[in-house]
């Protein structure tokens, strides 16, 4: 039986298939192959930093500026995820980055909601949308993104996030934003400790985050690891991406297994399927090969992911029951 998997940490603009990019490029008259083709989208082994990694988002950002492009991209992505056998995915993006041609954030979001709905209608996979505030974005724009999330919560949107170049702005700058989200019962995750300090993780948990994007830096602090375990925080880890951005120096140094063995609720995810040239199945096989994880361990991490998902409780219970009943019973 195929492994049932969940991807909690997946960026829309970093996961467009090459075929989708080729199609969208043709629609705007962009010479995709002449401008580097696939190499312009994939970070590869020569990626030197998070800043270098983020350059691969330039073309997708340029392409995703119309309702048609956004709907098609999110449709193709969710259809691909469903075909891979996922039972849940949470797709994140920043609406404010797609208003360059005059679209309102509402129109941007509604196009993505339509695409996600279209991509999942013929499968059992559930898909939710996370809206990202940006570390390097204006405060008012980030506030508007969270207001938009509140308006569409339960209508396709399941929560919010803070993404972008960690450390450019101190984490404490965003405390009021997340305290307000907590008061409005908007679920949130925060990119923290990816290429920044473990103190960012501690701050994010204190602000009320139930999940942390990446969190690699926690390995440098016993107190931080203890906090993650005590508060039952779900870590959304992305091994291939972490290697490319130099969040960790090598796969042998990746803290995923150390966190798991310590009882921290870790999950494995793709981050950006195209930029990192990965899939959830590939991530799973990689950590089995190099970190000593078993199929039973992967099952536990996928259950952690379902338990940490920003789903309505009744829906979550049904999905977990399905997972428990159908997930590789022969193991």
Q: What structural domains and CATH numbers belong to the chain?
A: 5-326 (3.20.20.140)
How many CB atoms are located within 10 Å of the residue 197 CB? 17
Using the predicted structure, report yes or no on whether residue 150 has a pLDDT greater than 80.
Answer: yes
- Give residue 328's pLDDT: 58
| Contact of 165 with 190, CB cutoff 8 Å | no
Mean pLDDT of 289-312: 97
Question: Tokens standing for 259?
Answer: 């966190």
Find residue 153's DSSP bridge partners.
Answer: 157
Distance CA 238, CA 193 (A): 12
Q: DSSP alpha helices (H): ranges in 102-195? A: 105-120, 139-152, 175-183
- Hey, what long-range contacts does 291-296 have (CB within 8 A, 24 or more apart)? 291/251, 291/254, 291/256, 291/257, 292/257, 293/257, 293/260, 295/3, 295/328, 295/331, 296/331
Structure tokens at 12: 């829309």
Of 316, 237, 243, the closest CA to residue 284 belongs to 237
CA angle 72-77-82, nearest 5°?
Answer: 125
Q: Which of 71, 194, 236, 283 is catalytic?
A: 194
pLDDT at 330 over 80: no
d(Cα 14, Cα 103) in Å, to the nearest integer? 21
Percent with pLDDT over 70 in the chain: 98
Per-residue pLDDT band for 1 (boundaries 50, 70, 90) equals low
pLDDT in tens, 223-233: 999 999 999 99
Asked if 91 and 10 count as a contact pair (C-beta separation under 8 A), the reply is yes
Instruction: Look at residue 331 in the predicted model and tell me its pLDDT.
Output: 38
pTM of the complete model: 0.95
Whether 194 is a known active-site residue: answer yes
pLDDT band at 326 (very low <50, low <70, confident <90, very high): confident
Q: Is the dihedral of CA 276, 279, 285, 288 positive or negative?
A: positive
> What is the spatial distance between Cα 169 and Cα 174, in angstroms, rounded to a whole number?
9
Cα separation of 326 and 329, whole Å?
A: 7
- In tens, the pLDDT along 68-117 reads 999 999 999 999 999 999 999 999 999 999 999 999 999 999 999 999 99
Phi, psi at 246, each rounded to 5°: 65, 25
Phi-psi region at 87: left, alpha or beta (left = phi > 0; alpha = psi -120 to 50): alpha
End-to-end alpha carbon distance in the chain: 10
pLDDT band at 44 (very low <50, low <70, confident <90, very high): confident
Do 227 and 204 meet the contact criterion of CB atoms below 8 Å apart? no
Residue 329 has pLDDT above 80, yes or no: no
Token code pair at residue 146: 């969270």
Residue labelled with tokens 């700058």: 173
Q: What backbone torsions phi and psi does residue 98 show, to the nearest 5 degrees?
A: -125, 25
Percent of all residues in the chain with a pLDDT value above 90, rounded to a whole number: 89
Is-contact 34 297, C-beta < 8 A? no
């Amino acid at each position: 039986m195929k492994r049932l998997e969940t991807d909690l940490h997946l960026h829309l603009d970093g996961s467009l298939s090459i075929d989708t990019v080729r199609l969208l490029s043709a629609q705007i008259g962009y010479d995709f192959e002449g401008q580097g083709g696939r190499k312009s989208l994939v970070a590869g082994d020569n990626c030197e930093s998070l800043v270098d990694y983020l350059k691969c988002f330039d073309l997708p950002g340029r392409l995703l500026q119309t309702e048609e492009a956004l709907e098609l991209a999110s449709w193709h992505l969710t259809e691909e995820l469903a075909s891979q056998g996922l039972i849940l995915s949470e797709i994140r993006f920043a609406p404010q980055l797609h208003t360059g041609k005059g679209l309102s954030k509402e129109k941007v979001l509604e196009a993505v909601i339509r695409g996600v709905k279209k991509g999942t209608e013929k499968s059992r996979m559930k898909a939710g949308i996370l809206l990202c505030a940006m570390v390097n974005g204006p405060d008012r724009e980030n506030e508007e993104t969270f207001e938009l999330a509140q308006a569409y919560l339960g209508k396709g949107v399941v929560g919010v996030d803070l993404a972008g170049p960690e450390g450019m702005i101190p984490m404490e700058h965003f405390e009021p934003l997340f305290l307000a989200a907590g008061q409005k019962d908007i679920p949130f995750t925060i990119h923290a400790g990816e290429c920044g300090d473990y103190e960012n993780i501690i701050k994010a948990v204190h602000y009320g985050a139930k999940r942390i994007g990446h969190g690699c830096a926690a390995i440098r602090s016993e107190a931080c690891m203890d906090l993650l375990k005590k508060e039952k925080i779900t870590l959304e880890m992305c091994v291939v991406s972490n290697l490319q951005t130099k969040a960790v120096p090598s796969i042998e140094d990746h803290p995923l297994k150390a966190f798991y063995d310590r009882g921290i609720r870790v999950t494995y995810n793709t981050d950006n399927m195209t930029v990192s040239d990965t899939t959830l199945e590939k991530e799973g096989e990689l950590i089995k090969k190099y970190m000593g994880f078993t199929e039973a361990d992967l099952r536990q991490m996928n259950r952690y992911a379902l338990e940490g998902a920003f789903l309505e409780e009744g829906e979550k219970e049904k999905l977990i029951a399905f997972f428990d009943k159908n997930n590789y019973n022969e193991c």
